[in-house]
Each structure stands twice: as structure tokens, then as C-alpha cells.
Amino acid sequence: MNGSAPLRIRRGARGALAGRPVGPVDPWITRLAKLVPAEIVAVYLAGRPIAEARFEGVWPLVCLVLVIVVRAWGTADRRGPQWLSVLVSAVAFVLWVNATGGGFLGWRLDTDVASLGVLVWTTLAPVLWRGDEPA
């Protein structure tokens, strides 16, 4: 298992002095960067022209599986994957696919609505999900 968990969201333990965080804390912008599956969005976009001709509808699902696998690996520490982070990233990926004109299993969201969804989701998700407490 990956000991460093580069994509794991961390919330610092609270110290006795005025409840200030002690230990590593991921600020909002770091949580945002860790939750947006930019690497798999890039894979999806790079493979889409080839996949649309031969595997329409399958390519987004393959990439969604990649999001889950990469994010589970990237958030895993001795406690296991951080499944809430994986879920947040998976939802973000589905929104990104729709915002770029794609869809899942014949279901497509209007690109303008999906684009607004991307903006709202990627802004609010790191505000609401601050990570788990240190072990």
C-alpha cells in the first residue's frame, strides 16, 4: 500500500491551545487540487477522438474506473483509501465529461449546465470535505 498517500486530504489534529491545528493541514487550494481528477480528464480528452469512432460510450466508463483506481491508490494509507475523496473525484469527472460534450451510457447533461456544475462542485467540495483526522 502507498505509505505517502499523495492525494489524501488531511485535517490537522487540534491542539490544546485555542484549538489550533497541530500537524499537516491541507488548505482549500490543496484540497481542490487533490480532488479534481485532472490526470484522468486529460487521459479522457486525449483518447476521446479515437474512442468515439470505435468505443462510443465505453471510453467514459473506462476513464471513470481509472479515476476510482488512481484515487483509491493515491489516497490509501495504513487505514485504507479515503473513499469520500474518491467519490468526490468521481462526481467531478462525470461533470467534466458532460461539460466537454460527452456522456455516460447515453445520458448527457447540457454542456452549459455541466460547466456550471463543474464550477460549483469544484469550489464547494473542498470547503465541505476537509479530510479525516490524523491517525
What would the pLDDT profile of 100-122 be if each residue is shown by its tens digit?
Answer: 999 887 888 999 999 999 999 99
Three-class secondary structure assignment of 90-104: HHHHHHHHHHCCCCE
Q: What is the pTM of this model?
A: 0.85
Strands, E, within 15-133: which ranges? Answer: 21-22
**8 Å CB contact between 26 and 131:** yes
- Cα dihedral 16, 22, 27, 32 sign: negative
pLDDT score for 1: 45
Q: Hey, where are the domains in the chain?
A: 27-128
What would the pLDDT profile of 49-102 be if each residue is shown by its tens digit?
Answer: 999 888 778 999 999 999 999 999 999 999 999 999 999 999 999 999 999 999
